[in-house]
């Protein structure tokens, strides 16, 4: 009897311990649902990060995350450089954070996340990151089929002691696999997929959104700044398009952003519709969504405390120009139907 009691006690303790560890893990979905910014100390060899030229090459780092309730979690992770243009242009390249690590008992649930950071050390660089962060928040207002982001006040520490620590706002981007799962979808390997081989209604919404923010830096067939996810329930359905990477859009208006020659404009603030032909009913259905969400969209900008009023007012004016356009039937027909792309 005593041996049986001891055995049951051990099983209960082990089970309870496992459940406790599981309970202590960060909820990856809730992490991107919460709105409040977190603070992070990121320590790694900065010189090695700057010099690394390979893809998917990671190095040791330590991340210490302080949550709004005061909870602090510090664990070893891996980080690596990512991106193309900003990777060779910025003082620290954009970073991929790999939380799946044997020593990261509580943060491993976050998986592999992109950390979007300012390109330089000036206030204007941080301002651009905050503006791009808000663009993600705008698309979140329109659909759950969108990538969520979490604002992070990040202090960068050099593990070799060769660089002075510095602090800037950045943001973490939701793992695209998590985004797919919460929408009943999945990612899968695929070859080239043409724009019109994606879900028609979703693609129309994406194209109008890209027009609203003044972004032409995207392409479905080139897998450029568009993620495709597939229905779990019915994999035969056309994939759904999810846009990301908005630093080249007119709403952000980065000094380094220039339109591609094929677009035919001189500035990224000049809007060009890159969607394919739709009939008026389809276009109006999509525009009705934008009209219904106008106050939410404007409110995201107006209520954001970390940007100066002058900057926010400029962003609002840019958006209000779009909303004036979609109330004019002649403009709607000209932009979204008569001048829709055909190739």
Higher pLDDT, 19 or 28: 28
210 shares its domain with 169: no
Structural domain includes residue 143: yes
- DSSP structural state of residue 334: I
Indicate if 198 and 328 belong to the same structural domain: yes
Q: Which residues contact 185 (CB under 8 A, 6 or more apart)?
A: 145, 229, 230, 231, 232, 240
Sign of CA dihedral 128, 129, 133, 135: positive
Whether 5 is covered by a domain: the verdict is no
Q: Are both 295 and 315 inside the same structural domain?
A: yes
pLDDT mean over 254-277: 95
Contact 113, 173 (CB under 8 A): yes
Residue 55, in any domain of the structure: yes
What's the rounded mean pLDDT across residues 184-192? 93
pLDDT of residue 23: 42
210-231 pLDDT, tens digit per residue, is: 999 999 999 999 999 999 999 9
Is 20 a member of any domain? no
231 bridge partner residues: 185
Is residue 61 a contact partner of residue 44, using CB atoms and an 8 Å limit? yes
List C-alpha distances in Å: 312 to 190, 211, 318. 40, 19, 10
Grade residue 53 by pLDDT with cuts at 50, 70 and 90: confident
* CA proximity to 138, closest of 50, 229, 251: 251
- Burial-class residue 267 by CB neighbours within 10 Å (0-12, 13-18, 19+): exposed
Distance CA 195, CA 197 (A): 5
- Count the alpha carbons within 13 Å of 120 in the hemisphere toward its beta carbon: 8
Q: Quick check: 165 and 51 in contact, CB under 8 A?
A: no
- Whether 188 and 314 share a structural domain: yes
What's the pLDDT at 15? 47
How far is Cα 73 from Cα 67, in angstroms, rounded to an integer?
8
Could you give phi then psi for residue 81, rounded to 5 degrees? -75, 155
pLDDT at 88: 67
Q: Does residue 306 have a pLDDT over 60? A: yes
- Structural domain including 194 reads 177-338
Residues 225, 291 share a domain: yes
181 and 329: one domain? yes
Residue 319 within a domain: yes
The token pair that represents 26 in the structure block: 């960060």
* Distance from C-alpha of 76 to C-alpha of 56, rounded to nearest angstrom: 18
Answer whether residue 5 shows pLDDT above 80: no
Q: Mark whether 157 and 208 lie in a shared domain.
A: no
Does the residue 65 lie in any domain? yes
When pLDDT is cut at 50, 70 and 90, the band that residue 189 belongs to is confident
Summarize pLDDT for 155-178 with one digit per residue, the tens: 999 999 999 999 999 999 999 999
- DSSP sequence for 160-221: TS-S--EEEEEEEE--HHHHHHHTTEE--------GGGS-HHHHHHHHHHHHHHT----BTT
Q: Measured between alpha carbons, how far apart are the two ends of the chain, in Å?
A: 79
Q: Is 67 helix (H, G, I), strand (E, B) or coil?
A: coil
Q: Which residue spans within the chain are E strands per DSSP? A: 38-44, 59-66, 72-81, 95-98, 112-116, 149-158, 166-173, 185-186, 226-231, 240-243
Residue 15, CA distances (Å) to 5, 18, 19, 99, 108 in order? 15, 5, 6, 25, 20
137 & 223 share domain? no
Backbone angles phi, psi at 88, to 5 degrees: -95, -5
Q: Is there a single domain that holds both residue 73 and residue 199? A: no
Residues 324 and 223 in one domain: yes
Structural domain count, the chain: 2
Residues forming a β-bridge with 229: 240
Q: Residue 85's pLDDT band (boundaries 50, 70, 90)?
A: low
Examine the domain organization and report whether 149 and 229 are in the same domain. Answer: no
Q: Which two tokens stand for residue 252?
A: 């952000």
Predicted model pTM: 0.92
Beta strand 149-158 pairing with 38-44: parallel
């Amino acid at each position: 009897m005593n041996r049986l009691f001891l055995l049951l006690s051990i099983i209960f303790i082990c089970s309870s311990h496992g459940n406790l560890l599981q309970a202590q893990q960060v909820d990856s979905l809730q992490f991107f649902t919460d709105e409040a910014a977190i603070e992070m100390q990121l320590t790694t060899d900065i010189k090695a990060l700057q010099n690394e030229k390979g893809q998917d090459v990671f190095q040791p780092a330590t991340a210490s995350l302080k949550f709004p309730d005061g909870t602090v979690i510090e664990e070893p992770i891996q980080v690596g450089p990512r991106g193309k243009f900003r990777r060779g242009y910025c003082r620290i390249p954009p970073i991929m954070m790999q939380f799946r690590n044997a020593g990261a008992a509580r943060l491993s649930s976050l998986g592999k996340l992109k950390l979007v950071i300012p390109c330089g050390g000036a206030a204007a660089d941080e301002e651009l990151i905050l503006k791009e962060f808000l663009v993600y928040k705008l698309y979140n207002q329109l659909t759950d089929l969108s990538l969520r982001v979490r604002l992070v006040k990040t202090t960068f520490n050099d593990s070799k002691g060769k660089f002075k620590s510095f602090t800037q706002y950045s943001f973490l981007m939701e793992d695209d696999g998590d985004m797919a799962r919460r929408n009943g979808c999945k990612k899968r390997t695929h070859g080239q997929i043409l724009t019109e081989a994606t879900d028609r209604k979703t693609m129309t919404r994406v194209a109008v959104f890209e027009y609203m923010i003044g972004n032409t830096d995207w392409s479905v067939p080139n897998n450029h700044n568009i993620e495709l996810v597939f229905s779990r329930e019915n994999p035969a359905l056309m994939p759904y398009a999810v846009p990301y990477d908005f630093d080249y859009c007119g709403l952000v208006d980065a000094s380094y952003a220039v339109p591609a020659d094929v677009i035919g404009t001189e500035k990224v603030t000049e809007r060009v519709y890159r969607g394919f032909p739709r009939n008026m009913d389809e276009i109006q259905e999509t525009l009705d969504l934008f009209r219904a969400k106008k106050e939410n969209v404007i409110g995201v900008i107006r209520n954001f405390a970390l940007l100066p009023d002058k900057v926010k007012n400029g962003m609002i004016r840019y958006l209000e120009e779009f909303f004036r356009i979609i109330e004019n039937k002649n403009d709607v027909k000209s932009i979204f139907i008569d001048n829709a792309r055909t190739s």
